[in-house]
Amino acid sequence: MTAATLLIPSQSAPVPATAPLVSRYQAVRQQTEALCRPLLPEDTVVQPMVDVSPPKWHLAHTTWFFETFLLGEYQPGYQVFHPDYAFLFNSYYNSLGSRVNRADRGTLSRPALADVYAYRTHVDAQMLALLQRQAELPESFAALLELGLQHEQQHQELLVTDIKYILSTNPLAPAYLPASADAPVSDAPGPPAAWLPVRGGVHRIGYEGAGFCFDNEQAPHEVYVADFSLQNRLVTNAEYLQFIEAGGYSDFRYWLGEGWELVQQAGWQAPLYWVRRPEGWFRFTHHGLRPLDLAAPVTHVSFYEADAYAHWAGARLPTEQEWEIAARQFHPEAAAGTFLESRSFDPQPLPADAAPDQCHQLLGDAWEWTYSAYHAYPGYERAAGALGEYNGKFMINQLVLRGGSCATPESHIRLTYRNFFHADKRWQFTGIRLAR
Amino acid sequence: MTAATLLIPSQSAPVPATAPLVSRYQAVRQQTEALCRPLLPEDTVVQPMVDVSPPKWHLAHTTWFFETFLLGEYQPGYQVFHPDYAFLFNSYYNSLGSRVNRADRGTLSRPALADVYAYRTHVDAQMLALLQRQAELPESFAALLELGLQHEQQHQELLVTDIKYILSTNPLAPAYLPASADAPVSDAPGPPAAWLPVRGGVHRIGYEGAGFCFDNEQAPHEVYVADFSLQNRLVTNAEYLQFIEAGGYSDFRYWLGEGWELVQQAGWQAPLYWVRRPEGWFRFTHHGLRPLDLAAPVTHVSFYEADAYAHWAGARLPTEQEWEIAARQFHPEAAAGTFLESRSFDPQPLPADAAPDQCHQLLGDAWEWTYSAYHAYPGYERAAGALGEYNGKFMINQLVLRGGSCATPESHIRLTYRNFFHADKRWQFTGIRLAR
Amino acid sequence: MTAATLLIPSQSAPVPATAPLVSRYQAVRQQTEALCRPLLPEDTVVQPMVDVSPPKWHLAHTTWFFETFLLGEYQPGYQVFHPDYAFLFNSYYNSLGSRVNRADRGTLSRPALADVYAYRTHVDAQMLALLQRQAELPESFAALLELGLQHEQQHQELLVTDIKYILSTNPLAPAYLPASADAPVSDAPGPPAAWLPVRGGVHRIGYEGAGFCFDNEQAPHEVYVADFSLQNRLVTNAEYLQFIEAGGYSDFRYWLGEGWELVQQAGWQAPLYWVRRPEGWFRFTHHGLRPLDLAAPVTHVSFYEADAYAHWAGARLPTEQEWEIAARQFHPEAAAGTFLESRSFDPQPLPADAAPDQCHQLLGDAWEWTYSAYHAYPGYERAAGALGEYNGKFMINQLVLRGGSCATPESHIRLTYRNFFHADKRWQFTGIRLAR
Amino acid sequence: MTAATLLIPSQSAPVPATAPLVSRYQAVRQQTEALCRPLLPEDTVVQPMVDVSPPKWHLAHTTWFFETFLLGEYQPGYQVFHPDYAFLFNSYYNSLGSRVNRADRGTLSRPALADVYAYRTHVDAQMLALLQRQAELPESFAALLELGLQHEQQHQELLVTDIKYILSTNPLAPAYLPASADAPVSDAPGPPAAWLPVRGGVHRIGYEGAGFCFDNEQAPHEVYVADFSLQNRLVTNAEYLQFIEAGGYSDFRYWLGEGWELVQQAGWQAPLYWVRRPEGWFRFTHHGLRPLDLAAPVTHVSFYEADAYAHWAGARLPTEQEWEIAARQFHPEAAAGTFLESRSFDPQPLPADAAPDQCHQLLGDAWEWTYSAYHAYPGYERAAGALGEYNGKFMINQLVLRGGSCATPESHIRLTYRNFFHADKRWQFTGIRLAR
């Protein structure tokens, strides 16, 4: 449902100096507003499906997070900006009281967008004042501040995908950003994928470093896997198109039962945003309707589609354990994937000279569905208080995705990062990597 | 569902001169925009229930009506302002092709509000140019123009009620207009109602004049009614409060079966917009939350509530035939009700010196539920073409309401006017007048 | 929802002697059981749609009616047969406490069918004992007994139609009764219908006799109608087939708005029970699947279909006032329609020598949809107590049907009888007669 | 969704001799009929919720399985008993064509129960004839026969739980079997549970023997687990009652998010079938309403309740790997649990002298929810053809349960057996064992 997860502050982590934290705070907050700049006030209000939140809500909810968990806790005598905002902008914390039904977020025209920006300005001013006296504050302050920033980065990704969905359902098919006329689109598939073998046995997974991680990446622990192989890149649009053309969407044998029911009931015949026209396949993108890029990774597929594709292709999806073991082994030092900062808003084809014996696109481009239920790691404990609701209560009926996407801020992602969505969701930048 | 109905131009009607028509066109169009002026762009987009349309949609749909039925028909070579607007802003005309689902109007952030105003400006300029050469146009032009103006007046009423509903569902309870601090609220019931006897027999009802009427007011015809009496004013909040306090909402005996099921399922305990607080009853209004005005007419009641109240009070609702017969007999020359132009946005108490032997509030203040199904009058014929869908196809499962409301433009209402809604609807300014 | 209605005992009615009443009681009760005799226990339990009740429920509910309203009231010290049966077999009387949800009647395997028959035997024995001492009982007893018998006759009709529906949804298409191999089916349309003119003016309608009637037929009152004509017979399958073949189900112009939505959503392309096969049209009947009888009246149409057919045919449906005025004028002394007692379970074609200047099929064969909402007659009052719920609370959102059907007991029907159903219902034997 | 799973015949398994197979065939088939003997025909038809199938359907579906997979494959020229039964009694095999909607099984009164028994008799006669010539048949025949028997045993368990549910929703609360008046009910909790430590490391799980297993128990493989402890018995009603009395159902902190939503929406306040009365807690059982047995294992809890209970108790649920590792270590040679054959139809308290250092109730009594998603084991492959749908397509959004229940035939269960249900299901005999 949501990618938000909880900070377990590493005990040995050095408390960052005030100066860089102030800069990071300002940079993250400005990034959010920059993403909303191309929108009209009208765009920031609507909610065409329940999973999507209006951009105005994201702008306010992330601010409410700092107000509630930082200002409310560490600034003595802090008065909330508005007494009703906690009701309006609490997402899902039962500990913090009642709230607007999620499905009704798109019926609320007020507070005005301008009021929400005033809210941000107010909270930012207070936060910056608080940051000036960080030296006096307990260590938990820095940990919660870090969590607030990571949380806002998660909502930056959701802003990107929610904006896309909002514009996509409009019959006018408006573009979030104009496409440059000469933006290249590959009309040929790239080179075939290669299989990278991984030696099985007992491996260790989970976060062990000194930096930030979410609680669901804890604790590090041993797992046993058999030998396996992983493809060295994501499945491409060209490859997925072969599945479509081979009748993949009309043959129940490739599908899980609940997936097959959904395909029939919803009438799916291609990934979300694909449009078939007399002149060929197109996709709705942040730059409007664009021809299908054959060499680019396929995205906006549900777990059901990823799994069916894998069956059709004679392979399977990796488990999250396999993914992390392989990623630790193969991931190059310098991540070269496509992240939010590129503003390309779509996963990108591999360069022609990509080395076949390296593993590409592990971070960025598209979240990779794994065949692992999103459950707690051994020894996982929910934190006390409201933040105990951040991650733990979602650990049922969802699947783990790994690696981040083209909508993920580069500084936000890690090899141990565990994202999670229900099997039917397609509006995130979700893709496929095969294992066998 | 909608109050819109179709013009049958009276053959003997004098074609109005160009000058006044231009003035009326401009006045009506400006009235619509004036109603939207207090709104933010955000307010014009949302749709908190399916019956409500976003104000932006009303602004565009009324414009589409002129573009389609006037410019498209009488201006040779007219090019539509935007090729997709017919899909976006057609309300329910199957004759004119497919359209956005009614329930999805609130998911559309585009066209921007500014684009819709540009659309209005464009169509107005074209219409004014066309009006200059009205003398050359066939008589049907004037009839359709009249229909377009009446249609826009109907949407002015819907704008008033839809805006109220949109703001009412917001936890911030924002006011459309600020309330003047000293706005009076009566804290005592007014004088008791009087019964006005009406002699039965064969009477004639239906529109017979030379001016405009909708097709559903045609044809004039005879009806037989027995002797009856009608109350000389609308039921007040004070009277309705007695029904509530007597347990009216928890005693099935007063209710129609489907009404009783609805009361239980929806948890109704008072009219729409009523709020019980420790210090007494309040109502949400266009001026925010205000104390209950005891002497004012009750409004925002469903037919089920009106009918149950009448049973409890030992009376009944009038039929539409009774209403019209009585109204023809009693309605004073100068209508003194409360209309849209008053900008009071609520029905008003009778003045203390209101004559008990006169019939008050027949026009304006609140639509009066009748115990008459909305069916065709004898001899009614649907018009050919798209306008045949204006009224006729709604003639099932709805009830007739008479007399207009505080949201009705004064020039729009007549004693023969037939409005219609389903028995469960409450967001219009609907009230109660008793018969026996 | 239901055709049940309330007795207003005529003050001047002679109290019938005990002997015939006993006979009528026994005859009516045996008729119900005779209708259930061809069923298996399994058939008596299921409920394939919410409007249909399991036959076992009908057997018990009619018995509960006598137990509650007769034995419970007039037999001192009467102990109910089973303490839970009131909860199980109360249909819709809020006055008599809570009850099983209507939609859940088909989930109840107990009491066993045998237990229900034992319940009938018990109540019948008690009733017959009570009837022996009828002379000592107040007059109200006879009136309620009459109501109980009329009520059971109403459920006989529902048994016929519910059994048909239950068997029709079974893929095995089982026949309630075997068809005789040589049962004739007309493969040619009958003679054309003739129009019978009726003079308008003030007429009197409503029940005025000394026998039994339901409260909704009261009080007799004057109505005004203009001159009109009525067809001398019901619309036939051959005529309705022309409407189908002319594309009636795919042209919105003939349909009321809510009807058109339903046609599209439900995929209706013909009346209920019609099946198109390579060799022609068939209908599911009480005798299994049978070829369409072209000369027989069309039946199992909704009001929407009846209304759309009438529009297509350039006519309209009569109002219930018109129907009753014409019926009083034209109905022959000796009703010759098809009733329950014929056990034909389908409306029958007119004989070849039917007089064109007479009005046929007014009683029996098929209920005739009128264009009249089911509202209270002037002066109607709901009775006090539980029986006040019999008819009055259904007087909203339904349409009046007149004349009875092939499933109506002949002794049950009258020219003033007002049946009522929602516009979308098709599982009763509903048909069409045109007016203009 | 269903517990049915697919046979992978072990290559080295000796083909059983004809004689014992005939006996087993007859014994299994008779067991099914014996379970239905106390039912009325009426009981065998209804379906009070979609997960439940009418007993008549189970009787026919298990027969259809033998007809389709055995007679249809191995008996040349076999004619099906009825051409429509495949449509009626196919459960979920897309490979075998269309079928009745699962939710509509309870609307079908035909074929009659007697017809279904005739179907069983016919197929049994054919099967026994076929078994006479088993020596001539390929080895695959024995494997499919085994599967058919295992399949029918799975439906025996469903019969037990579906019958319970059918009777429980009836306001008459009928008993399936009479309770002996002196059946003991413990009114005191048993001795406290003990923790049994298990040493972690790499262990092997999955079926490795020479007998029958389902495909989802394959292939045996290594897993790594850390040290853990398991309780030596199931959680009791007394213990669960403490959770209820401590407010467990009204404190969101113990619950997974989707579970908490369900608790509030469905109004759960105790396990399924629990009834609070002035004199204490009761449970609906196969013997009618009975006082709560404090020492007996709690059952009819959803995964959400099991998980919330574990949180409240400061423990957790075991994974299926942990369960199997511990069960292999602790399970005594002679299983002493409560199985279908006991006809007790409820899990039983531990004997007072149960050894605290042994692990009890591993097999039988109640299915134990594990914190493991029902996914494929490494190397799992769906079989070709229709039987590939038996297990594999359900491997999403369900949780594994281990150990069988009091409704499981003793010969049907194994330590490696993997049952699976959605987290919200409660109508099976599901219970709780704690780990930490």
Option in B373, B393, B394 nearest C375 (CB): B373
Mean pLDDT of D284-289: 96
Three-state SS letters, chain D:
CCCCCCECCCCCCCCCCHHHHHHHHHHHHHHHHHHHCCCCHHHHCCCCCCCCCCHHHHHHHHHHHHHHHHHHHHCCCCCCCCCCHHHHHCCCCHHHCCCCCHHHHHHCCCCCHHHHHHHHHHHHHHHHHHHHCHHHCCHHHHHHHHHHHHHHHHHHHHHHHHHHHHHHCCCCCCCCCCCCCCCCCCCCCCCCCCEEEECCEEEEECCCCCCCCEHHHCCCEEEEECCEEEECCCCEHHHHHHHHHCCHHHCHHHCCHHHHHHHHHHCCCCCCCEEEECCEEEEEECCEEEECCCCCECCCCCHHHHHHHHHHCCCECCCHHHHHHHHHHHCCCCCCCCCHHHCCCCCCCCCCCCCCCCCCCCCCCCEEEEEEECCCCCCCCCCCCHHHHCCHHHCCCCEEEECCCCCCCHHHCCCCCCEEECCCCCCCCEECCCEC
Residue with tokens 């309608």: C205
What pLDDT does residue D179 have?
78
What pLDDT does residue C388 have?
87
The alpha-helical segments, DSSP class H, found in C191-288 are: 237-245, 257-266
Angle in degrees, 0-180, between the axes of helices B18-36 and B139-168, rounded to the nearest 10: 10
What pLDDT does residue A181 have?
65
Backbone φ and ψ of B25, nearest 5°: -55, -50
Determine the Cα–Cα distance for residues C173 and D83; give it in Å rounded to an integer.
Answer: 13
Reported as a pLDDT band with limits 50, 70 and 90, residue D336 is confident
Q: Output the six-digit token pair for C191.
A: 């003679």
pLDDT tens sequence across D98-140: 999 999 999 999 999 999 999 999 999 999 999 999 899 999 9
Q: Output the six-digit token pair for C434.
A: 């045109």
Pairs across A and D, CB distance < 8 A: 77
pLDDT tens sequence across A260-273: 999 999 999 999 99
* CB < 8 Å to D376, chain A: 371
Planar angle of CA D208, D213, D218, nearest 5 degrees:
55
Residue D291: which of D270, D318, D265, D273 has the closest Cα?
A: D273
* CB < 8 Å to D371, chain A: 375-376
Mean pLDDT of A214-237: 97
Are C111 and D172 spatial neighbours (Cβ–Cβ below 8 Å)?
yes
**Residue A72: strand, helix, or coil:** helix
Task: Tell me: pLDDT of D13 over 60.
Answer: no
Determine the Cα–Cα distance for residues B110 and D334; give it in Å rounded to an integer.
Answer: 72
Task: Tell me: pLDDT of B4 over 70.
Answer: no
Q: Name the more confident of A289 and B19.
A: A289
Option in B94, B224, B396 nearest C223 (CB): B224
Task: Tell me: pLDDT of A148 over 80.
Answer: yes
- Interface contact C112, partner D, CB < 8 A: yes
Task: Tell me: pLDDT of B164 over 60.
Answer: yes
- Interface contact B88, partner A, CB < 8 A: yes
Task: Tell me: pLDDT of C17 over 60.
Answer: no
pLDDT tens sequence across C253-300: 999 999 999 999 999 999 999 999 999 999 999 999 999 999 999 999
With CB atoms and an 8 Å threshold, state whether A40 touches B110: yes
* CB < 8 Å to D170, chain C: 107-110
Determine the Cα–Cα distance for residues B342 and C52; give it in Å rounded to an integer.
Answer: 53
Identify the residue among B396, B398, B420, B422 best suited for mutation to test binding to C, counting C beta carbons within 10 A and taking the highest. Answer: B396
What pLDDT does residue A20 have?
80
Reported as a pLDDT band with limits 50, 70 and 90, residue C180 is confident
Q: How high does pLDDT run on average in chain A?
A: 93
Kindly identify which residue of chain A lies nearest to residue D319, measuring between CA atoms: A378
pLDDT tens sequence across D67-85: 999 999 999 999 999 999 9
What pLDDT does residue D333 have?
57
Residue A119: which of A32, A18, A2, A5 has the closest Cα?
A: A32
Residue B180: which of B286, B85, B301, B69 has the closest Cα?
A: B286
Pairing outcome for strands A430-431 and B419-421: unpaired
DSSP A77: T
User: Which residues contact residue A222 at a Cβ distance below 8 angstroms, ignoring those fewer than 6 apart?
Assistant: A202, A203, A204, D224, D226
Reported as a pLDDT band with limits 50, 70 and 90, residue B383 is confident
Reported as a pLDDT band with limits 50, 70 and 90, residue D6 is very low
Residue A401: which of A299, A298, A320, A308 has the closest Cα?
A: A320
* CB < 8 Å to A111, chain B: 172
Residue D75 to chain C, least CA–CA distance (Å): 26
Q: Output the six-digit token pair for C58.
A: 């009908």
Reported as a pLDDT band with limits 50, 70 and 90, residue C99 is very high
DSSP A295: T
Residue B11: which of B143, B207, B133, B141 has the closest Cα?
A: B143
Determine the Cα–Cα distance for residues B233 and B236; give it in Å rounded to an integer.
Answer: 9
Task: Tell me: pLDDT of B20 over 90.
Answer: no
Kindly identify which residue of chain D lies nearest to residue A94, measuring between CA atoms: D252
What pLDDT does residue B340 have?
97
Reported as a pLDDT band with limits 50, 70 and 90, residue D385 is confident
With CB atoms and an 8 Å threshold, state whether C226 touches B260: no
**Greatest Cα pair distance in chain B:** 66
Are C135 and C19 spatial neighbours (Cβ–Cβ below 8 Å)?
no
Task: Tell me: pLDDT of D216 over 80.
Answer: yes
Q: Name the residue ranges covered by the structural domains of chain A.
A: 18-168, 195-431
Kindly identify which residue of chain A lies nearest to residue B48, measuring between CA atoms: A107
- Interface contact C202, partner B, CB < 8 A: yes
What pLDDT does residue A334 have?
53
What pLDDT does residue A45 have?
98
With CB atoms and an 8 Å threshold, state whether D257 touches A378: no
Cβ count near C353 (within 10 Å): 6
Reported as a pLDDT band with limits 50, 70 and 90, residue C219 is confident
Residue with tokens 């229909």: B147
Reported as a pLDDT band with limits 50, 70 and 90, residue B183 is confident
Determine the Cα–Cα distance for residues A146 and D209; give it in Å rounded to an integer.
Answer: 53
What pLDDT does residue C333 have?
57
Distances in Å between the Cα of C406 and the Cα atoms of A298, B215, C183, C415 are: 63, 40, 17, 15
pLDDT tens sequence across C295-340: 999 999 999 999 999 999 999 999 999 999 999 999 865 567 999 9
Q: How big, in percent rounded to 5, are the helix, strand and coil portions of chain C?
A: 40, 10, 50
Question: CATH second-level architecture of A195-431?
Answer: Alpha-Beta Complex (3.90)
User: Which residues contact residue B346 at a Cβ distance below 8 angstroms, ignoring those fewer than 6 apart?
Assistant: B285, B286, B293, B296, B299, B338, B406, B429
Identify the residue among B36, B39, B40, B42 best suited for mutation to test binding to A, counting A beta carbons within 10 A and taking the highest. Answer: B42
Query: Strand pairing partners for A236?
Result: A297
Q: Output the six-digit token pair for B192.
A: 């008791």
Task: Tell me: pLDDT of C93 over 50.
Answer: yes
Mean pLDDT of C235-251: 98
Q: Output the six-digit token pair for B13.
A: 């009607």
Determine the Cα–Cα distance for residues D143 and D9; give it in Å rounded to an integer.
Answer: 6
What pLDDT does residue D181 have?
66
Q: Name the more confident of A20 and D75.
A: D75
**Greatest Cα pair distance in chain D:** 66
pLDDT tens sequence across B329-346: 998 655 679 999 999 999
Reported as a pLDDT band with limits 50, 70 and 90, residue B384 is confident
Question: CATH second-level architecture of B195-270+296-431?
Answer: Alpha-Beta Complex (3.90)
Fold for the domain defined by C18-168? Four Helix Bundle (Hemerythrin (Met), subunit A) (1.20.120)
Q: Output the six-digit token pair for B31.
A: 């009235």
Reported as a pLDDT band with limits 50, 70 and 90, residue B179 is confident
- Interface contact D169, partner C, CB < 8 A: yes
Task: Tell me: pLDDT of A206 over 60.
Answer: yes
Task: Tell me: pLDDT of B11 over 70.
Answer: no
Kindly identify which residue of chain D lies nearest to residue A92, measuring between CA atoms: D257
Mean pLDDT of D23-34: 97
Residue type, A68: T
* CB < 8 Å to A113, chain B: 42
